[in-house]
Structure 1
Amino acid sequence: MALGKTVRVRTPLAAALAALALAGHAALPGWAAPKPTVKQLKKELATLQKESDKLIADYYSSRIAHQKAEKAAKAAEEKLAAAQEVFDRESAELRAIAVAQYTGGEPNQVALLLGSQEPSAVLGGMALTQYLISEQAASLRGYARVRDERQRAQDEASARAEELGTAVAGLGERRTKAERTIEKIRDRIDRLYVAPGARPDGTFVPQLPDGADNITPRMRLVKQLVQERFTVPYGIGCYRTIQDGGEHPLGRACDFMLSRGGAMPSAEEIRRGNAIAEWAIKNARRLGIMYIIYRQRIWHVRNGAWRTMSDRGGTTANHYDHPHISVY
């Protein structure tokens, strides 16, 4: 009878404790909402794929418009250069005429008629003078036409340059939108993968290494996803026999190299390393990632923050040339 009473007393208490534990879990990050199902993720992917296709088509149209604007702007610049050349030549000729008139004086027809020259010589001089005046007038008219053509070419070049600027700005905006959507698709695809050995409470069952690469299935999945998402041209090092207290000899760690021979990586490779580390942090709880080491810092899933490490004496030892990822 006493035993029965004990059971009746403990059962409600156990239920209350279980409810309290569940309530506590619900308050923790990651427990507030249920994880999306594969079906939900695939539905989201289908919607995002349609959006992505529209954005890519829009970006393509913008590229064509940009190329046309670029071609028109180049043609307008060439036309302006040619008009400027003619304008400069005509300006030089007019300046020469003006200088000649200023220094020599323009012939006076009345003076020619009243002078002591023979009439035939006077008439000949007048004819020559009239011819020169006609030539100057023609030069002035030609100059005005060249000047106006140059101005039109300049206006057209300015308009085409403005169109090109607008096309460039639109192209950049469309590219950014498309890239953001593609990034969303990548994130949704990542979420379709769940690390093998994961348990509902967020812990991970230990795994044995297997396969020719001597790494665990969980580490192999992380390595595969990094390779699919990022280019790692300098190789990936995982299993090694040296017992250094880390996860490499257990098949639970990989190094994603950003340079060769211990050289300091380029700025572009450093950005790639940062991107790999950020991706690993974002997906750590779902993929069973325990910690990341990069650039003499360590991020552990338990505290979710970077911590500076002591100096180990070199570029590779301090992980400046590669991010290191360890899994449970």
Structure 2
Amino acid sequence: MESPTSTLRRRTRRTALAVLAIALPLACTAAPSSAAAPRSLPALPSDPGDSGKFAKLNAQINKLDKAYGGDLAKLKDAQYAAKKALQKSQSLQNNLDEARSLVAQMAATQYMTDGQGPTISMLAAGNPSDMLSGYSIIEHLAQNKTAKVAQIGKLVDEQATAHDQAQKKITELQKEIKDLLAQKKRVEALVKKYKPQSPSVGMGGVTPRMAHVKTVIDQEMGPFPTIGCVRSTGDPQDHGTGHACDFMITTGGVMATGAAQAHGDATAAYAIAHASALGIKYIIWRQRIYDLRSPGWRAMENRGGVTANHYDHVHISVF
């Protein structure tokens, strides 16, 4: 008949081997998706040439910016989305690699010590009261490893989704560039019609054309709580060169609703209707952009706030 001590040792060793049963398959890059059956966890390439492809697209964007009258905000938004998707895919891949490596190392250590690591050996050699405590620790380790396996399965799914999203955003960016190139002659005519202007002195650096648009919009659609034009902070784009103004509909980061939203809608509509006469390049309002070089409203990426997403002001840029 077995003594209580030998029985507990046997149970402790069985639990440790159960931990191995969880960890060891990870050394071969496989993990169970459920208790019923294991599934293969193929390692997706986090960057199958995407960074190089993205760099080439960025170079094209820089050339188009110069040729098409500056700041292609609609295109820059697609560029931002692709960059953000690529970063997320890379981050998830790094987390996945770390999780795989950790569990594989634990499995390899147990395997090389014949299924009995130093901690397990120490616990198995103690007296019955110590082993009761040791048994609880082993159970805790087993649960942690089970959780790590589940985390890996989740990371695989998340990384696959992020990778597909990055590919989608790069494809959308390529389409934006292609659409602009297809309208090259029309855009060149716009750029020729609205020749570049130098910033004026004594008006904060606003160009004469932007100053004229500011006056007209304020006369026809004002008053506005405030109108902000030249700035160099954050992501200034055309603001930095005096080619843009923000016509605030509300203040304090409050989203425009009701009558205020209707005011913003009317201001954006007026700017579009008179864009040709005024030399307006694009309008941004309520997380959408209307670029006269590629007409039509297009949804923009979420920048994380009311003001950043233009829910409290109408942005107008000029050639």
Instruction: Provide the TM-score with structure 1 as the length reference.
Output: 0.38
Highest Rg: 1 or 2?
1
Instruction: Provide the TM-score with structure 2 as the length reference.
Output: 0.39
Higher relative contact order (CA 8 A, sep 6+): 2
